[in-house]
Amino acid sequence: MSDLREQVLAASLALIEERGVGSLSLREVARRAGVSHQAPYHHFAGKEAIVAELVARGFTRLSEMLEAAERARGEPARRLRLAARAYVDFALGNPAVFRVMFRPELADLSACPAAAAAGTRAYSVLVRLVEERFAGPRVSPERLGVITTMHWSMVHGLATLLLDGSLGKRAGSAMAADALIERTLDTFSIAAGSLVTPTPRAS
Amino acid sequence: MSDLREQVLAASLALIEERGVGSLSLREVARRAGVSHQAPYHHFAGKEAIVAELVARGFTRLSEMLEAAERARGEPARRLRLAARAYVDFALGNPAVFRVMFRPELADLSACPAAAAAGTRAYSVLVRLVEERFAGPRVSPERLGVITTMHWSMVHGLATLLLDGSLGKRAGSAMAADALIERTLDTFSIAAGSLVTPTPRAS
DNA sequence: CCCCTCACTTGACAGTGTCAAGCCGGACGG
DNA sequence: CCGTCCGGCTTGACACTGTCAAGTGAGGGG
């Protein structure tokens, strides 16, 4: 494949991770790659196409991490718990990419079918994990959807708040980040579990 | 007070709500206000100062909505539930402002003490509501903090995912947005309640 | 040998945020 | 009443951005 194409992607990624998506400059990217300011246009339609590609790769990386959790041994609850942790870890490990992945107004991912497909892939892992954990004769599919939404919201919110430092300035002051993540996910896992099993009373 | 100052704020708000924060243009704002492109600089230090002011006002509006829920009658669980709904409603009602409120890389709110104070005010409402709902002889302050984080994460995540359309494209296809919000918050309320009361087994 | 294609460069245009002056009317001290 | 100051606004300029248009030049097939 083209060498410059990968160089442009790498430079763009580095740039948005260090200065934020808003300050991504195609000309700066070209400068770092040692080419003219128009060279990137022979590999991407424009600025949005570059970040769309980064988003697509981000979603497939996230999917892989979630699928790794899915393949882990143990009970369904444990796998769901592992996936939640993987989600948060991915967000903290790739802050800028994670942010733009869920921000359609910065880069319209609907224009990039690859990105949309990768997003769907990640979501379907969550659906499977929740189903495996919560499905039963007494839970309707609709209820399963609500539980899925609840899980995604909780984990996504935790990742987002940690990323933006909102939690660090408040609850984080009294607890290390890692401990806060673990205890929050544990507590949530127990609480959600009560929806389907009779009372495992938390400590 | 200065007339132009409010005009600039109003025009900026309208602009970011219709085109996104990234496309906020001071010159366009000045154009809409009918003044020269430098006039806003006599009321704000720069672009960031304008959105910082909008963020500060957003946080106080959110605080007021949460405090209204806090003043509602009924049990603590009901008030917490109302506050959660108010949080989501605020996000959906002021999309662009909500986004920038929790995105420090777009506008450094730490430079604006008023915005930080307003944010703390909103957070303290949540702390009080969670404490009122979950405090007891068997729950340590640390655990209370974890439960607070869990609540904030869940509600914030739900609001964020709805705002970005991620949920609409997935779970939302099978359920109206309002019903999804209500059922998700209800389910979460029941699940969290199980952390402190013995088994109210959900339907 | 010619020509064509493809990766890339050069040039230009409109738009941006922001620094540096200039203008101008109204308040204020004498 | 006059001069001076000053705050609100304007005009001008600079460096920077994304993107359209045209040119360049090397490598390969007819």
pLDDT in tens, A52-97: 999 999 999 999 999 999 999 999 999 999 999 999 999 999 999 9
Side-chain half-sphere of B103: how many Cα atoms within 13 Å?
25
Closest CA to B202 of A185, A154, A143, A203: A143
Confidence band of A201 (pLDDT split at 50, 70, 90): very low
- Rounded distance between C-alpha atoms, residue B155 and residue A88, angstroms: 16
A23 CA, C30 C1': Å apart: 56
Contact A142, B175 (CB under 8 A): yes
Measured between beta carbons, which residues in chain A are less than 8 angstroms from residue B175? Answer: 142, 145
> Domains in chain A and their CATH numbers?
1-44 (1.10.10), 55-193 (1.10.357.10)
Minimum-distance nucleotide, CA of B3 to C1': D8
The share of chain A scoring above pLDDT 70, in percent, equals 97
- Rounded distance between C-alpha atoms, residue B166 and residue A155, angstroms: 14
Answer yes or no: is A39 CB < 7 A from strand C: yes
Closest CA to B185 of A146, A138, A192: A146
- Rounded distance between C-alpha atoms, residue A201 and residue A199, angstroms: 5
Answer yes or no: is A36 CB < 7 A from strand C: yes
Measured between beta carbons, which residues in chain A are less than 8 angstroms from residue B194? Answer: 190-191, 194-195, 199
Confidence band of B197 (pLDDT split at 50, 70, 90): confident
Using a 7 Å CB cutoff, list residues 20-79 of B near strand D.
30, 35-39, 41-43
pLDDT at B198: 64
Residue A154 has pLDDT above 80, yes or no: yes
Q: For residues A54 and A107, which has the higher predicted lDDT (pLDDT)?
A: A54
Confidence band of A171 (pLDDT split at 50, 70, 90): confident
Give the best residue of B15, B150, B163 to mutate against chain A (max A CB count within 10 A): B150
Work out the angle at residue A123's Cα, subtended by the Cα atoms of residues A122 and A128, and round it to the nearest 5 degrees: 100
**How far is C-alpha A169 from the geometric centre of its chain's CA atoms?**
22
What does the block give as tokens for A202?
A: 């938390």
CB under 8 Å to B119, separation ≥6 — which residues? A166, B59, B101, B109
Confidence band of A1 (pLDDT split at 50, 70, 90): low
Inter-chain CB proximity A194 and B198 less than 8 Å? no
Inter-chain CB proximity A153 and B22 less than 8 Å? no
Residue B195 has pLDDT above 90, yes or no: no
* pTM score above 0.85: yes
Where helices occur in chain B by DSSP H, the ranges are: 3-19, 26-33, 47-71, 76-93, 95-101, 113-134, 141-163, 166-169, 177-193
Measured between beta carbons, which residues in chain B are less than 8 angstroms from residue A103? Answer: 99, 164
Q: Which residues of A113-145 are buried (b: 16+ CB within 10 A; e: fewer)?
A: eebbebbebbbebbbbbbbebbeeeebeeebbb
Mean pLDDT of chain A: 92
Contact B120, B109 (CB under 8 A): no
A73 three-state secondary structure: coil
Closest CA to A40 of A77, A79, A9: A9
A6 CA, D16 C1': Å apart: 25
Give me the sign of the Cα torsion angle B125, B130, B133, B134.
negative
Q: Give the one of A158, A164, A190 whose C-beta lies nearest to B104's C-beta.
A: A164
Residue B43 has pLDDT above 90, yes or no: yes
Inter-chain CB proximity B152 and A157 less than 8 Å? yes
Q: Give the one of A164, A167, A195 whose C-beta lies nearest to B149's C-beta.
A: A167
Side-chain half-sphere of B154: how many Cα atoms within 13 Å?
34
Q: Which residue of A has its CA nearest to B146?
A: A184
- Rounded distance between C-alpha atoms, residue B33 and residue B40, angstroms: 10
Q: Give the one of A152, A171, A195 whose C-beta lies nearest to B187's C-beta.
A: A195
pLDDT in tens, B177-192: 999 999 999 999 999 9
Q: Give the one of B148, B174, B190 whose C-beta lies nearest to A145's C-beta.
A: B174
